[in-house]
Amino acid sequence: MTPAPTRVVVVGADAAGMSAAHQALRTARRTGRRLDVTVLERGHHTSYSACGIPYWMAGDVPTGDDLVARTADQHREAGIDLRFGVEVVAADLAARTVTTADGGAVGWDELVVATGAPAVVPDWALRSDGTTYDGVGVVKTLDDGAAWIERFAAAGDGAHVVVVGAGYVGVEVAEAALRHGFGVTVLTRGRGTGMLEDELADLVNTGLVDAGAELVLGAEVTCLDVTDGRVSGVRWDGGTRAADLVVVAVGVRPATGFLEGTGLELSPNGALRPDPHGRVGDHVWAAGDCCEVRRRVDDQWVFRPLATYATKHGRALGDSLAGGSLGFDGMVDTSITRFAHADVHLEIARTGLSRRDADAAGFDAVALLTEGTTTAGYLPEAEPVAIWVMADRATRRLLGVQVVGGRGAGKRVDAAAAVLWAGGSVDDLAWMDLAYAPPFSTTWEVLQVAARRVAERL
Ligand SMILES: Cc1cc2nc3c(=O)[nH]c(=O)nc-3n(C[C@H](O)[C@H](O)[C@H](O)COP(=O)(O)OP(=O)(O)OC[C@H]3O[C@@H](n4cnc5c(N)ncnc54)[C@H](O)[C@@H]3O)c2cc1C
């Protein structure tokens, strides 16, 4: 008798969950396993690029549909039983069931947790019924994006947008609001984007101000002014600003509440810690924003909710679940964004450790900031670029690189990420064979000059 197919239940139908589902089916065809793959999604969207939402808000992407990589129909045609409007509220690992919000139960042989990390909404943004005041919202899902498109369209000339948070999402949304001609204030409790060393964050801060935004550093929002249920201002310790719209971009938190009491180990912020194949327990798997990822440079778990990790880990998980051996071998903490408006064009990127990470890991780190140009200086398109490089004095290992600069600056970080990935030295970065022609770099590429300067000081 042919054995019954293995019942795979995936919770969450976006980057991690659908990567896992499709790869499991592909690998199962190769390994000869029979899988029934069911995906339970509490919302009504699947496989879309949240990363593209700020560019949709800015007007660069015509519709939300353009952000959808694969439709629900395409998933179903591939053999996946995708169910929308189904929220999982509990899991029983012994009985191998999940309970849904309508009280139903779904049985599984293999459970994949890919529930992501919803945006954090502080109390000051919420009415007593838990909804946000009119004119206030986060930027996380396609529905959030659609709500912002409507709010932007309804806002009159001279409207003022306050963005709370100066991380990547805050910076991208500030750009979108400026592009609509709105007044923009960015409030951040720190000294600027926390992903960068202070001297690079300062360059981003200067770019925001040069592009017309007001920037308030060290501002902890305390409450909103609300008129007839609608936001009319923002108050923080030290100031107030009248506001027509308030974007809350203060981070995300793993959606793992339904796993409480299952015995699965969660990190202090509630994230799962899967192995390279995605395993978190007996027949239980996880990937994506609901997880922390292993950073290879200092061998630490860190919470980095990024699509690039969700899709890679999801794929490795799906393959392993179906009998393959793909593994997600951690990351080196690489990320990138852009802030561009008016005459300002800044590409912002980092890889590896920050100074604080290096100190915590006990490295004797040496770091320097080097300035140069993105192309040969004699070309009209040459733009300034600042590159921060850090290496370990004892071993000469490259530890981290950060970049802020004009067009073409940002993806320079990839060469540094490749060296970090291979555990290479600052000398490797200084001397490796990178492409050169005047429209692309100076003869001594600025990244390599930056590495060489650090190497000379070790
Ligand atoms: C504005 C913005 C810009 C971004 N830019 C970048 C970028 O430039 N580069 C980058 O790498 N990353 C970026 N990201 C991050 C990227 O979007 C996420 O890392 C990625 O979407 C994570 O995928 P995921 O599948 O793990 O989680 P999600 O995309 O959050 O999907 C999880 C799904 O699970 C569902 N779900 C949750 N709980 C339950 C439950 N209990 N029952 C049923 N369903 C449930 C949710 O509804 C959701 O659809 C950005 C994110 C945002 C918001």
Compute the distance from residue 277 Cα to the ligand 1 centre, in Å. Answer: 20
Q: Which fold, 335-457?
A: FAD/NAD(P)-binding domain (3.50.50)
Q: Which atom of ligand 1 is nearest to the CA of 43?
A: 47
Residue 176 has pLDDT above 90, yes or no: yes
- The predicted pLDDT at position 390 comes to 98
Residue 157 has pLDDT above 90, yes or no: no
Q: What is the 3-state secondary structure (H, E, C) of the chain?
A: CCCCCEEEEEECCCHHHHHHHHHHHHHHHHHCCCEEEEEEECCCCCCECHHHHHHHHHCCCCCHHHHECCCHHHHHHCCCEEEECCCEEEEECCCCEEEECCCCEEECCEEEECCCCCECCCHHHECCCCCECECEEECCCHHHHHHHHHHHHHCCCCCEEEEECCCHHHHHHHHHHHHCCCEEEEECCCCCCCCCCHHHHHHHHHHHHHCCCEEECCCCEEEEEEECCEEEEEEECCEEEECCEEEECCCECCCCHHHCCCCCCCCCCCCECCCCCCEEECCEEECCCCECEEECCCCEEECCCCHHHHHHHHHHHHHHHCCCCCCCCCECCCEEEEEEECCEEEEEEEEECCHHHHHHCCCCEEEEEEEEECCCCCCCCCCEEEEEEEEECCCCEEEEEEEEECCCCHHHHHHHHHHHHCCCEHHHHHHCCCCCCCCCCCCCCHHHHHHHHHHHHC
Handedness of CA 383, 335, 183, 201 (dihedral sign): negative
Superfamily in which the 123-248 domain is placed by CATH = FAD/NAD(P)-binding domain (3.50.50.60)
Compute the distance from residue 256 Cα to the ligand 1 centre, in Å. Answer: 13
| Pocket lining for ligand 1, CB < 6 angstroms | 11-17, 40-43, 50-51, 53-54, 87-88, 114-116, 139-140, 169, 255, 258, 288-289, 305-308, 310
Residue of 239, 228, 258, 210 lying closest to 406 (CA atoms): 210
Residue 1 has pLDDT above 80, yes or no: no
Alpha-carbon distance of 116 to 278, in angstroms, equals 14
In the chain, which segments carry CATH 3.50.50.60?
Answer: 6-117+253-321, 123-248, 335-457
Alpha-carbon distance of 212 to 184, in angstroms, equals 8
Compute the distance from residue 361 Cα to the ligand 1 centre, in Å. Answer: 30
User: HSE on the CB side for 165, CA within 13 Å?
Assistant: 21
- 79-132 pLDDT, tens digit per residue, is 999 999 999 999 999 999 999 999 999 999 999 999 999 999 999 999 999 999
pLDDT band for 156, please (50, 70, 90 cuts). Answer: confident
Alpha-carbon distance of 200 to 191, in angstroms, equals 11
Spatial neighbors of 73 by CB under 8 A, at least 6 apart, are none
* Chain-centre distance for alpha carbon 313: 14
- The predicted pLDDT at position 417 comes to 98
Compute the distance from residue 249 Cα to the ligand 1 centre, in Å. Answer: 14
Pocket test residue of 42, 193, 414 for ligand 1, highest count of atoms within 8 A of CB? 42
Pocket test residue of 115, 350, 351 for ligand 1, highest count of atoms within 8 A of CB? 115
- The predicted pLDDT at position 175 comes to 98
For domain 6-117+253-321, is the CATH number 3.40.640.10?
no
- 225-256 pLDDT, tens digit per residue, is 999 999 999 999 999 999 999 999 999 999 99
Residue 2 has pLDDT above 80, yes or no: no
Alpha-carbon distance of 166 to 63, in angstroms, equals 26
- The predicted pLDDT at position 403 comes to 98
Residue 138 has pLDDT above 80, yes or no: yes
Q: What percent of the chain clears pLDDT 90, i.e. is strictly above it?
A: 97
Mean pLDDT of the chain: 97
Spatial neighbors of 257 by CB under 8 A, at least 6 apart, are 270
Provide the token pair at 366: 């040496």
Alpha-carbon distance of 288 to 271, in angstroms, equals 10
- The predicted pLDDT at position 3 comes to 81
- The predicted pLDDT at position 266 comes to 97
- The predicted pLDDT at position 192 comes to 84
pLDDT band for 191, please (50, 70, 90 cuts). Answer: confident
- The predicted pLDDT at position 193 comes to 84
Compute the distance from residue 404 Cα to the ligand 1 centre, in Å. Answer: 26
